[in-house]
């Protein structure tokens, strides 16, 4: 039987983060982050550099003390996580460059032994090393020295090291940074396999929206320390397909209007009725990429506006408002501005 008492039957919630705050000195980096993850769910934490992704992950891993908020990781506060709790987590660090002279199988076998005592009735720990080597696609390199592996192979070894203890929850901080497309695709297969066959909960960070869309059941967009979007790629895309951008030219000036609700047809009809000089009319549905960029942009401008007067918005600045735009500004369903061509 197992050396360790099986954990109490836990809820289906693997991660529960409420109003998480982090301040470095006088700088507020996380200003109230809340989200949950169910068991087996793959979450992508997306956001520009400096958004606070690594900070969030390190707090959840128990490597960094938070300033405030409630955090439960596999039912436990990571600030007080014990060894048995830690054994249930997988943390994928940057490459194990110090172990260049070890052979792949020997290194994994050595690390695997630490997890034996944490085997439970539900989860047999560690992975069988040969099986794991196959799962991560390193079977042909089992006898190779770590220093001879390519970048992509090395990263797969990093993942193998992170999951050798058969974790219930895996944290991956920018796992594919620097990957070529082939290594990226192989890594994506591995993540799918962990989620589908092992029911592993995965929280990964990336600033690649395409990657988030491919891998994640749910995408969280973190910007300037707060979650500005939380939903499946489909949901984010659907919310966004209700958005459209209308562009047109009058007197050589290019204009753009974002229709944030409903059908852009009404706006276009009004526009053409009010302004007969309109040319080069274009209506474009927003892609998920556009949505992501506009979310991030909106979060950034709303922050800037707390310290600045709202003089930059065309809809509040009469001198920039043309007849067609004032119509748009009063219907309350969008934003209009003049664009540089
Ligand atoms: N130990 C630290 N001390 C002070 N500031 C830090 C520390 N770690 C990160 N920061 C700052 O916190 C912000 C968020 O950083 P980080 O969590 O690394 O973001 P991301 O991973 O999204 O790029 C950045 O402005 C960064 O400079
Ligand atoms: Mg980071």
Phi, psi of 306, deg, nearest 5 = -65, -25
Residue 8 contacts residue 202 (beta carbons within 8 Å): no
pLDDT at 152: 81
Residue 165 contacts residue 114 (beta carbons within 8 Å): yes
Whether 276 is in the pocket of ligand 1, judged by its Cβ within 6 Å, is no
Cα(254) to centroid of ligand 1, in Å?
39
Tell me the C-alpha distance between 33 and 218, whole Å. Answer: 16
Cα(28) to centroid of ligand 1, in Å?
10
Which numbered atom of ligand 1 lies nearest the CA of 51?
A: 22
Q: What is the DSSP letter of 228?
A: E
DSSP state letters, 232-244: -HHHHHHHHHT-E
Q: Which two tokens stand for residue 98?
A: 């110090």
Residue 36 contacts residue 9 (beta carbons within 8 Å): no
Which numbered atom of ligand 1 lies nearest the CA of 24?
A: 4
Cα(14) to centroid of ligand 2, in Å?
22
pLDDT at 313: 40
Kindly calculate the radius of gyration of the chain based on its CA atoms and give it in whole angstroms: 25
Residue 201, strand partner residues: 169
**Whose Cα sits closest to atom 18 in ligand 1?**
54
Whether 54 is in the pocket of ligand 1, judged by its Cβ within 6 Å, is yes
Residue 151 contacts residue 181 (beta carbons within 8 Å): no
pLDDT at 331: 41
pLDDT at 303: 63
Tell me the C-alpha distance between 202 and 192, whole Å. Answer: 10
Q: Which two tokens stand for residue 124?
A: 């047999």
Q: What is the DSSP letter of 137?
A: T
**Whose Cα sits closest to atom 1 in ligand 1?**
24
Which numbered atom of ligand 1 lies nearest the CA of 57?
A: 17
Whether 47 is in the pocket of ligand 1, judged by its Cβ within 6 Å, is yes
**Whose Cα sits closest to atom 24 in ligand 1?**
50
Q: Which two tokens stand for residue 91?
A: 């943390």
Residues 6+ apart with CB under 8 A from 203: 15, 37, 43, 45, 57, 60, 169, 170, 171, 172
Tens digits of pLDDT across the chain (341 residues): 445 554 455 579 999 999 999 999 999 999 999 999 999 999 999 988 889 999 999 999 999 999 999 999 999 999 999 999 999 999 987 655 677 899 999 999 999 999 999 999 988 999 999 999 998 889 999 999 999 998 888 888 988 999 999 999 999 998 887 778 888 888 888 899 899 888 999 999 987 888 898 999 999 999 889 998 899 888 877 665 667 889 999 999 999 998 877 778 889 999 999 988 999 999 887 677 777 777 777 666 766 665 554 444 433 333 333 333 333 333 445 666 666 54
Residue 263 contacts residue 243 (beta carbons within 8 Å): no
Whether 24 is in the pocket of ligand 1, judged by its Cβ within 6 Å, is yes
Whether 30 is in the pocket of ligand 1, judged by its Cβ within 6 Å, is no
DSSP state letters, 106-119: HHHHHHHGGGGGG-
pLDDT at 92: 84
């Amino acid at each position: 039987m197992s050396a360790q008492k099986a954990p109490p039957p836990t809820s289906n919630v693997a991660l529960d983060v409420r109003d998480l705050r982090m301040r470095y000195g006088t700088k507020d980096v996380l200003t109230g982050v809340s989200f949950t993850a169910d068991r087996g769910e793959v979450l992508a934490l997306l956001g520009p550099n400096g958004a606070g992704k690594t900070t969030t992950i390190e707090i959840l891993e128990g490597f960094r003390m938070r300033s405030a908020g409630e955090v439960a990781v596999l039912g436990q506060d990571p600030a007080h996580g014990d060894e048995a709790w830690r054994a249930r987590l997988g943390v994928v660090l940057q490459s194990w460059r110090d172990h260049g002279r070890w052979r792949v199988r020997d290194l994994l076998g050595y690390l695997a032994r630490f997890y034996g005592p944490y085997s439970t009735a539900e989860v047999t720990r560690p992975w069988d090393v040969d099986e794991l080597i196959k799962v991560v696609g390193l079977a042909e390199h089992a006898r190779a020295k770590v220093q001879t592996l390519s970048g992509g192979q090395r990263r797969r070894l990093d993942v193998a090291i992170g999951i050798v203890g058969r974790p219930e929850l895996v944290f991956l901080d920018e796992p594919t940074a620097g990957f070529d497309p082939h290594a990226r695709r192989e890594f994506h297969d591995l993540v799918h396999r962990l989620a589908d066959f092992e029911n592993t909960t995965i929280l990964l960070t990336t600033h690649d929206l395409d990657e988030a869309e491919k891998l994640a059941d749910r995408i969280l967009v973190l910007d300037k320390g707060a979650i500005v979007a939380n939903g499946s790629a489909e949901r984010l895309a659907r919310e966004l397909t209700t958005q459209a951008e209308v562009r047109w030219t009058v007197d050589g000036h290019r204009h753009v209007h974002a229709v944030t609700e409903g059908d852009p047809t009404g706006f276009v009809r009004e526009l053409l009725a009010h302004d007969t000089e309109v040319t080069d009319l274009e209506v474009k549905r927003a892609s998920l990429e556009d949505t992501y960029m506009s979310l991030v942009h909106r979060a950034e401008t709303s922050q800037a506006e707390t310290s600045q007067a709202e003089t930059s918005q065309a809809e509040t600045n009469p001198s920039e408002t043309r007849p067609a735009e004032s119509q748009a500004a009063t219907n309350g369903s969008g934003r209009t501005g003049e664009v540089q061509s």
